[in-house]
Structure 1
Amino acid sequence: MQKMLKEKLWAYIVHNNPDLMFNLQEDYSVTRYLDEKVNGIMPMAERLLMEHKPLYVIEELCVKEMTEELRPSRFLYIGAVLEQEFPDDWQRLREDGLLTYEIINIMESSRELFESFSFSIGSKDNSHLRHAIIAHVQKYLV
């Protein structure tokens, strides 16, 4: 079960938080990070096993718990704004193979904006945040 949870957590990170993926790889700390997360969730997994929950339910609950602090994804948020509001730039960056790299750069340069709006599941639909991010992306692309 631990191996499967590590694989699912890593897949989540790769698709939703590539900035974290790059940082973990750069620091050579992927294994340590995954081990810590999975080891931390094992008591919950064992309790659910004792309750005879189906394996797929245990996996889903464990991954949800392990990724709680990673949601919502700033990477996906910026990517969606870029695709919806700046489709020509999004397409160009995608074709040039630079989309992920540039989204991560935009994320880093807009860190204070996300923090000032307390970016979370509850605030991700805040129109003021969206407009501030759009303005920031527009300046970034110029």
Structure 2
Amino acid sequence: MHKILKEKLWAYIVHNNPDLMFDLQEDYSVTRYLDEKVKAIMPTAERLLSERKPLYVIEELCVKELTEELRPSRFLYIREMLEEEFSDDWQRLREDGLLTYEIINMMESCREIFDSFKFSTENEDDRLLRGAIIGQVQEYLA
């Protein structure tokens, strides 16, 4: 179970939080991070196992809890907004192989906006937030 949860957490990070992935790799702390996170969730997994819950349900519940603090993804938010609002730039960056790198830079450029809005699942559809991010990304791309 520990190995499966580590793999699922890492897959989630790679696809939804590549900024964290790069930070963990740069610090050589991937294994430590994953082990600590999964170790913290194991009591929940063991409790669910003792309740005879199906493995797929246990995995789903544990992964949901493991990724709670990683949602919503600022990376995906900017990627989707970039594709919708700046499709030519999105296409160019994708073709040049720079899309992920540049989105991570845009995330840093937009950090204060995300923080001031306290970006969360409750406000990720906020029009003012989106407008502020669009403006910042437009400035970044200029």
Unaligned runs of 5+ in 1: none
Pairing 1:54-133 to 2, within 5 Å after superposition: 54-133=54-133
Name the residue aligned to 1:29: 29
Unaligned runs of 5+ in 2: none
Per the normalisation by structure 1, the TM-score is: 0.99
**Cα offset, 1:109, TM superposition:** 1.1
CA distance in 2 between counterparts of 1:109 and 1:31 reads: 29
**Cα offset, 1:53, TM superposition:** 0.4
Please list the CA deviations of residues 31-68 of structure 1 after superposition, one character each: whole Å capped at 9, or x if unmatched: 00000000000000000000100000000000000000
Equivalent position SS for 1:106:
helix
Name the residue aligned to 1:50: 50
Instruction: Provide the alpha-carbon RMSD of the alignment.
Output: 0.3
Please list the CA deviations of residues 56-109 of structure 1 after superposition, one character each: whole Å capped at 9, or x if unmatched: 000000000000000000000000110000000000000000000000000011
**Cα offset, 1:125, TM superposition:** 0.5
| Count of residue correspondences | 142
Please list the CA deviations of residues 8-27 of structure 1 after superposition, one character each: whole Å capped at 9, or x if unmatched: 00000000000000000000
- Structure 1 runs (4+) deviating above 3 angstroms are none
CA distance in 2 between counterparts of 1:139 and 1:112 reads: 14
Identity of aligned residues (%): 78
Please list the CA deviations of residues 106-139 of structure 1 after superposition, one character each: whole Å capped at 9, or x if unmatched: 0011100000001000010100000000000100
Name the residue aligned to 1:7: 7
CA distance in 2 between counterparts of 1:16 and 1:118 reads: 19
Matched letter for residue 39 of structure 2: N
Matched letter for residue 80 of structure 2: A
